[in-house]
Amino acid sequence: MSSLPNPFRRLIVSIGLVLAHFGLVDRERAIRTADLSWPRIVTGIARMSKNAVDVAMVGIVAGVPAITGVGIAGPYWGLAFSLGGGVAGGTIALVSQRFGADDSGGIDRAVRGSVVLVVAASLPVTLAFWAFPTELISLISDDAAAVGFGATYLGIVGFGVPFAGLNLVGSRVLVGSDDAYTAMILRASGALINIGLNALFIFGLGWGIAGAAAGTVLSNVIVTCAFAFGLVRGRLPGVGALPVQIDPVGSYFHLDTLRDLVSIGLPVMGRNLVWTIAEFPMLAILSTMGSAVVAAFVVTRRIWGIMNTPGWGFGLASSSLVGQALGTGDEEIAETYGHEVIRFAVATYLVSAVVVATFARPIVSAFNPSPEAFPIAVSLVYVACIAVVFQGVSGGAAGPLDASGDTRWAFASQFVGMLCSILFAFLGASVSAVGLVGLYFAFLAETSIPAALNYYRFRTGAWKVVSRNYRPGATAADD
């Protein structure tokens, strides 16, 4: 492994070893969980840092209107990850269980089917973004400057939607087969390439906000090509052999596989779409509170994204490890992994929250917000540091649900949480005496409600029964 990310691994392993010392997790399982989760956390930090740098760069070039424009376009771009992430939720469930059962043919069918579903779901979105960017941005804001910036960004970045979805599928194939490291190398490298291209296009070529969008599209194309090349050949230059090699020749429309991908993936897609769609009314509500509040919210969400990266790693590690155990029929070890990953995730989120809260003011300053937006953003970051800890429970408990195919419950919990979040924000915007306090409670509701509901479902053990419908022997094996 490269020496560059090793400090991240040492940090995650150290947290696991402290928990093991107090008997909260098993030492060997903690190390295995850390080895699967830390590359995904690094990937998340790289990608969320890229998003934060985007906002900072356009803020330097064009100020608050550009920050607001990118923020408004953000939920639309998030559709790429909602659609692709939904399909990829089915991918990792099927791949991890078939990898555990040594069913290479089943893995091939799962990957080919995932590609078909991602392309079919994302192409209409690309066409809509290209054809109606101004109309879509205008649905959220009537600020002419913000709408202009947002439409420019959205019209270009839409071409990256299919590639972003395919990248998620490629990543889940590797994580589901015990190789989070290579997935990290490819996706984190893509984020770094994105930052470099954005700097070149925005500052070097003077393309402004269009340069930020072009850099995002091009970097996603590069990463997609790398995933496809590596998975088809079964190895990557500089990385070596991959744990799986996908045969691109075969049925892309294996009905049993497509049916499983859809039944597992649709609730995951819905869960991802809950927040993406919720951002539209949220931003519209906040727009009534003034541009400073919107800009502060956008900055806080970018910082939140970086703080939330432990969930990326632990959620996928849990899905992979629990799925592999279920694939061998060992439900007891699957449940044990689920419990321990939740504890591990909460502890890691606490560390992340403490660090960000300590340096909240200089972190917010890096985004170059207006004097009016700065104190609002700082206060929101402090609240976010409390709210994000609940993500450890929510994401950790959702991992076994995703691995087993019991994805509807996590979708419903996220929906309820976001509905309450929007209601609190609306209360803050409508009642002057409530004001920003309503937004504080919106952050807390977004995470605490799904945490309680997902953990309840995990404790019932119903997900183990659901998993029996998706294990390798439950579907037809002929191509």
Segment-wise mean pLDDT, segments of 10 residues, the chain, 479 residues: 59 89 89 82 72 71 73 76 77 80 82 89 90 86 79 88 89 82 82 86 83 89 93 85 84 82 78 74 84 85 84 78 81 87 91 92 82 90 93 87 82 89 92 88 92 93 83 50
Domain boundaries, the chain: 6-471
The CA-atom distances, in angstroms, between 269 and each of 21, 100, 121, 397, 408 are: 38, 25, 11, 17, 10
Encoding tokens for residue 152?
């420019």
Cα 407 from Cα 267, distance rounded (Å):
5
Cα 214 from Cα 135, distance rounded (Å):
21
The single residue listed with the structure tokens 């997902």 is 454
The single residue listed with the structure tokens 């840092």 is 49
Closest CA to 399 of 187, 188, 175, 183: 175
Beta pairing partners, 236: 240
The pLDDT of residue 39: 77
Cα 424 from Cα 135, distance rounded (Å):
28
The SS3 assignment for 236 reads: strand
The pLDDT of residue 477: 41
The CA-atom distances, in angstroms, between 236 and each of 129, 184, 186, 190, 255 are: 34, 13, 10, 15, 31
Encoding tokens for residue 168?
């998620």
The CA-atom distances, in angstroms, between 410 and each of 56, 239, 377, 398, 469 are: 33, 35, 29, 6, 18
The pLDDT of residue 424: 94
Encoding tokens for residue 7?
């400090």
Q: How far apart are the first and last CA of the chain?
A: 37
Closest CA to 131 of 151, 148, 145: 151
Closest CA to 217 of 394, 54, 358: 54
DSSP states along 117-156: HHHHHHHHHHHHHHH-HHHHHHTT---HHHHHHHHHHHHH
Closest CA to 244 of 257, 227, 261, 256: 227
The pLDDT of residue 274: 73
Q: What is the pLDDT of residues 456-478, one digit of tens each?
A: 999 998 888 888 887 665 544 44
Cα 305 from Cα 293, distance rounded (Å):
18
pTM equals 0.68
The SS3 assignment for 375 reads: helix
Cα 45 from Cα 51, distance rounded (Å):
10
The pLDDT of residue 1: 38
Task: Kindly compute the dihedral angle of the four CA atoms of residues 254, 36, 303, 199, in this order, to the nearest 10 degrees.
Answer: -80
Whether the CB-CB separation of 272 and 412 falls below 8 Å is answered with: no
